[in-house]
Chain A
């Protein structure tokens, strides 16, 4: 029996590894590199009620330990997704997580109403209250505990699908936003989305990104993410899914010790598309050598 199985509330996943939204599209491209059924799940590209073309101009800026993106939620819209991609995701033999984004309360409700009829094909909805690259909604909602409570409790009334709330690190107190999600009926929180950053071209004295700012991801943000997972898991009763700069199996273990029940791999897939194959093998080896189930690691942090 595999030692990698984990539970996120009522959702059982065969592995703690989930592909993060926005770094795997809907699975088509990465399935050319490895069998995605080794994963615990795949979180779709962030979807909105209408198609979005995303931001114009340069959308990526490299940093020493990662990158900034300002894609701006380019996606084909939820109707197209349901018609063309959902069945494909279901066929991959892995957990199907649908990432839901919006610009307003009404947008998020409309999204839930579109997706709920397809609940037999969906394992969880990941509610993106944290995209830093769109002008309205998302991060501005997700940095205010009161708005989180309002939006999540309204979603809770509309669907029985598990609601995983993906939160932004661009707040003073991540515990406050995580607790707001929990009190509103969330089934899990996902920590963290990208950090707001800027890279400047010193030759032109202009930001590299034509959106001026973008979301910073990659190994540079991992310590921030681990800290937030540790802080939140200490005060939450619902599971935490860790995300931010995971590149190898040691990073996964670090997040789980901090309190994560599962993790998301994002930017690493952009550099090494098949990295989950190696991480899975290394996690199995680690569990075998230490004779543990991976879920036993969750929250084993001994703070000073």
Chain B
């Protein structure tokens, strides 16, 4: 049975002006989470807040999340102290299938840097060939940079100037490589088109305003192409059927 966990904050630090990084104790989530999955975390506001899992440590029984402050709920959650407890549901969602290929290109933008970090760690642990492209607006927004990653900034004050496409264009692409991308929708669309143009499969992780996170309320839907002819689209649940979708199936 899945359950809602009461978890203790092991550590909390600010990693940029508006982003906190929490390490949370929960052996069950740490041992079962896969990259691309998320947790839904209670705050004093009515609904929980969803966050992609950034890292797990199975020996210490902890997982990490990054919290970008966008409103009252995320502000409050970014302000927790070590030793505080939070109610957490998770791990939720489908996650990336990292067994589907031996070579991956991972691309992150914005808060997508967190789930992509988890995927990068799992892929390198398993010895797979992985190229990481991390796109940021400018140097002040650059977080979780990994050694060897291709860094791009829109402002050009760090790494390659331009979007992550400018970074992707420097990569030697080989057949059978799978692209996984998490970031804002316009960026995922650009990456999806880039991958399609190279004949590569691409998986993206969607973000929607969410309530339950477990698939019962149907508020966080995304559009996918309908199987039935004549039907313009179908709605699927971001939280339960996703958040990871095949780029060729989703309608952005």
A69 touches B211 (CB 8 A): yes
Does B221 interact with chain A (Cβ within 8 Å)? yes
What residues on A are CB-neighbors of B4 within 8 Å?
Answer: 272-274
Instruction: Give 15 new A-B contacts, CB below 8 A, not counting A32-B214, A33-B1, A62-B46.
Output: A24-B216, A25-B215, A25-B216, A29-B215, A30-B214, A33-B214, A60-B209, A60-B219, A62-B45, A62-B47, A71-B217, A74-B218, A271-B42, A272-B87, A273-B214
**A269 x B216 contact (CB < 8 A):** yes
Contact of B46 among A22, A23, A59, A271 (CB under 8 A): A271
- Measured CB to CB, the nearest residue on chain A to B45 is A62
Q: Which residue in chain A gives the minimum CB-CB distance to B212?
A: A270
B217 to chain A, nearest CB (A): 5
Binary CB contact string for chain A from 148 to 192 against chain B (1 if under 8 A, 0 otherwise): 000000000000000000000000000000000000000000000
B233 beta carbon closer than 8 Å to chain A: yes
Q: Are A271 and B2 in contact (CB under 8 A)?
A: no
C-alpha gap A62/B216 in the complex (Å): 17
| Chain A residues closer than 8 Å to B65, beta-carbon distance | none
Q: Mark A15-37, 1 if CB is under 8 A from B, else 0.
A: 00000001111000110111000
Q: Give per-residue flags for A265-280: 1 if the beta carbon is below 8 A from chain B beta carbons, else 0.
A: 0000111111000000
Whether A41 sits at the interface, judged by CB under 8 Å, is no
User: Across the interface, do A33 and B215 meet the contact criterion of CB distance under 8 Å?
Assistant: no
Residues of A contacting B2 in the complex (Cβ-Cβ under 8 angstroms): 32-33, 273
Residue tally, chain B, CB below 8 Å to A: 28
A8 interface hit (Cβ, 8 Å): no
Interface check A136, CB cutoff 8 A? no
Task: Return B122 CB to nearest CB of chain A, in Å.
Answer: 24
What string of 1s and 0s marks CB contacts (under 8 Å) between B45-56 and chain A? 111100000000
Query: Are B3's CB and A59's CB within 8 A?
Result: no
Q: Within 8 Å of chain B (Cβ to Cβ): is A54?
A: yes
What residues on B are CB-neighbors of A29 within 8 Å? 214-216, 240
Task: For B87, list chain A residues within 8 Å (CB).
Answer: 272
Tell me the interface secondary structure of chain B in the complex: loop
Question: Which residues of A have CB within 8 Å of B210?
Answer: 60
Q: Please give, as numbers and ranges, the residues of chain B lying within 8 Å of A200 by CB-CB distance.
A: none
- Residue numbers in B under 8 Å from A270 (CB-CB): 47, 211-212, 216-217
Cβ-based interface call for B130 (8 A): no
A67→B216 contact, CB < 8 A: no
A221 to chain B minimum Cβ distance, whole angstroms, is: 12
Question: Is the beta-carbon distance between B46 and A273 smaller than 8 angstroms?
Answer: no
Residues of B near A62 (CB, < 8 A) are 45-47
Bound Cα distance A81, B48 (Å): 30
Chain A: number of interface residues, binned into ranges? 20 to 34
B219 near A59 (CB under 8 angstroms)?
Answer: yes
Q: Measured between C-beta atoms, what is the minimum distance from A243 to chain B in Å? A: 15
Residues of A within 8 A of B220 (CB): 59-60
Query: A22, A29, A74 — which one has the most chain B CB atoms within 10 A of its CB?
Result: A29
Q: Is B22 an interface residue (CB 8 A)?
A: no
B235 contacts the other chain (CB 8 A): yes
Cβ–Cβ < 8 Å partners of B89 in chain A: 273
Is B234 a contact partner of A53 (Cβ separation < 8 A)? yes
Q: 10 A-B pairs, CB-CB below 8 angstroms? A: A30-B214, A34-B1, A60-B217, A62-B46, A69-B219, A71-B219, A270-B47, A270-B211, A272-B4, A272-B87
B47 near A59 with CB under 8 A, answer no
Please provide the chain A residues from 240 to 266 with a CB less than 8 Å away from any CB of chain B in the complex. none
Residues of A within 8 A of B221 (CB): 54, 59, 74
**Residues of chain A within 8 A of B215, CB atoms compared:** 25, 29
Contact call A54/B1, Cβ cutoff below 8 A: no
| Closest Cβ neighbor of B223 among chain A residues | A56
Give min CB distance, B108 to chain A, whole Å: 25
Q: Which residues of B contact A33 (CB under 8 A)?
A: 1-3, 214
> Does A288 make an interface contact (CB < 8 A)?
no
Compute how far the CA of A24 lies from the CA of B216 in the bound complex, rounded to whole angstroms.
5
How would residues 190 to 234 of chain B score, 1 for a CB under 8 Å from any chain A CB and 0 otherwise?
000000000000000000011110111111110100000000011
- Assess whether A142 is interfacial by the CB under 8 Å rule: no
A218 close to B (CB within 8 Å): yes
- B1 lies within 8 A of A32 (CB): yes
Residues of B within 8 A of A69 (CB): 211, 217, 219
